Structure 1
Amino acid sequence: MLILGLNKTTLLDYPEHVAATIFTGGCNLRCPFCHNRDLVFARESIDAGIITPYSEDEILSFLKKRRGILTGVCITGGEPTLHQDLPLFLSRIKELGMLVKLDTNGFCPDVLHHLLDEKLIDYCAIDIKNSPAHYAATVGLSSIDLGLLRESVDCLLSLNGSFPYEFRTTIVKELHSEEDMYAIREWIAGTDQYFLQSYTDSDQVISSGYHAHDTDTLQHFASICRQTIPNVQLRGIDL
């Protein structure tokens, strides 16, 4: 595993749990509004001395010492499912008696199926970057195979409440419109919960020039989604 970051304690990343968050390096998308540039361009960041990898044993030793304090571990990125040794690493975390939450962009459905079948994750969050019509531009690519993501989305929808998961979208003023919200809600119809997250600017964003929608617009977007999704919430927004 290429592990490039560790947040030792979080009350936000894993719902209802005191957790640690582990950040993996590398990503198959290039979302221009992503605030983890050093993780996306992992090899360049390492070669430039900007970031230093952790060993798996170093992470596992830390988690072992925190048993009884931490109840969960969030695996995020970058994109964790790109790493072939992810299942083995998660199995070692599970051996410590901790719950595992996976954050993923959903473009490796075979990995998601395997992790679910082997009971190596206890919660999954899939980022829905935008409506299908605007997906490629939103993730910084000229084209993209949405069939892979659709398979992951359908996989979670098919669980019928037997496994906790969420879909979420980071809302960017320059990229997301009312029409996109209508399209997304139809795409993920059948889900129980959906989270809209406000874009936050930082010096780690891949490309500059992006902004958050105002609160009224975000609330309007949420109201659109609530027409078909029971639980729609706003994150990262002071109301």
Structure 2
Amino acid sequence: MILGGLQKLTLLDFPGTVACTVFTVGCNLRCPFCHNPALVFNPPEEYRISEEEFFAFLKKRQGILDGVAITGGEPLLHSDIGEFIAKIKSMGFKVKLDTNGTFPDRLEKILAEGNVDYVAMDLKNTFEKYAETVGIEGFDVSLIKRSIKLIEDSGVDHEFRTTVVSPLHSAGDFEQIAKQVEGSDKYFLQNFVDSGELLNGEGLSELPREELEKALEGAKKIIPQAKIRGES
């Protein structure tokens, strides 16, 4: 497992849990609005952490932290992710897994092993706009559809979320996006923030507040509990 960084404490990344966040390296998508481009490719050495260092940190935090959020990059890109999760779980921590949903076979195996307590999947756009949004020509959206079903049927606590980016999204897209995950009760909109370190951010911007609220209204037609991230 190649790890690109560690946030030693978070009260936000893992709902209801005092946790740390560990970042895996590498991603198979090329979303132009990605705010972690160093993790997509090759992070500087000073941000990297070995598995040995990570697990030594966890051992010291037993009884202090309750959980570990695993994000990326794309964690399921790594063939040994299941073993990594199992080791964390064996130390008494709850596990949250972030994913882009493009590795349904690995996701299915991990869900079946029962070591994940919470899954957060990025839902990039309507299925029709997926290829453009993830920067992959001819992208196979059936991978996303399968992952959605696996998560919804798993019984594992989960959420779906969409980073809202103009012009990739318009307010009118969100009723359709919500329909794609209408079997779930947690769906979050996250307005785009330009970190200044985007993968390819030219021409991208956040949705104006009025449009963001219209987007939420559309999503709520399908999922009444839909929210804008960070707002009650």
TM-score bucket of the superposed structures, by smaller chain:
over 0.9
How far is 1:52 from its partner? 4.6
Name the residue aligned to 1:228: 222
Distance 1:134 1:197 in 2: 18
Give the gaps of 5 or more residues in structure 1: none
How far is 1:133 from its partner? 1.1
Which of 60, 64, 68 matches 1:69? 64
Q: What percentage of residue pairs aligned between the two structures are identical?
A: 45
Name the residue aligned to 2:136: 141
Structure 1 residues 159-179: Cα deviation after superposition (integer angstroms, max 9, x where no partner): 3xx320000000012110133
Distance 2:214 2:222 in 1: 14
Distance 2:152 2:160 in 1: 10
**1:56 counterpart = 2:45:** no
Distance 1:60 1:220 in 2: 44
SS at match of 1:130: coil
Q: How does 1:1-239 map to 2 (within 5 A)?
A: 1-42=1-42, 45-46=43-44, 51-159=46-154, 162-209=155-202, 210-236=204-230
Q: Which amino acid aligns with 1:148?
A: L
CA RMSD in angstroms, aligned pairs only: 1.5
How far is 1:89 from its partner? 1.0
Structure 1 length-normalised TM: 0.92
How far is 1:85 from its partner? 1.0
Conserved 8 A contact 1:193-1:230: no
SS at match of 1:14: coil
Aligned length: 231
- Cα separation, partners in 2 of 1:203 and 1:178, compared to 1, 3 Å: closer
Q: Which amino acid aligns with 1:211?
A: S
Q: Which amino acid aligns with 1:216?
A: E
Distance 2:92 2:139 in 1: 38
Give the gaps of 5 or more residues in structure 2: none
Conserved 8 A contact 2:171-2:212: no
Structure 2 length-normalised TM: 0.95
Distance 1:120 1:112 in 2: 12
Q: Which amino acid aligns with 1:215?
A: R
Q: Which amino acid aligns with 1:219?
A: E
Q: Which amino acid aligns with 1:181?
A: F
Greater Cα shift, 131-140 or 213-222: 213-222
Q: Which amino acid aligns with 1:66?
A: R
SS at match of 1:124: strand
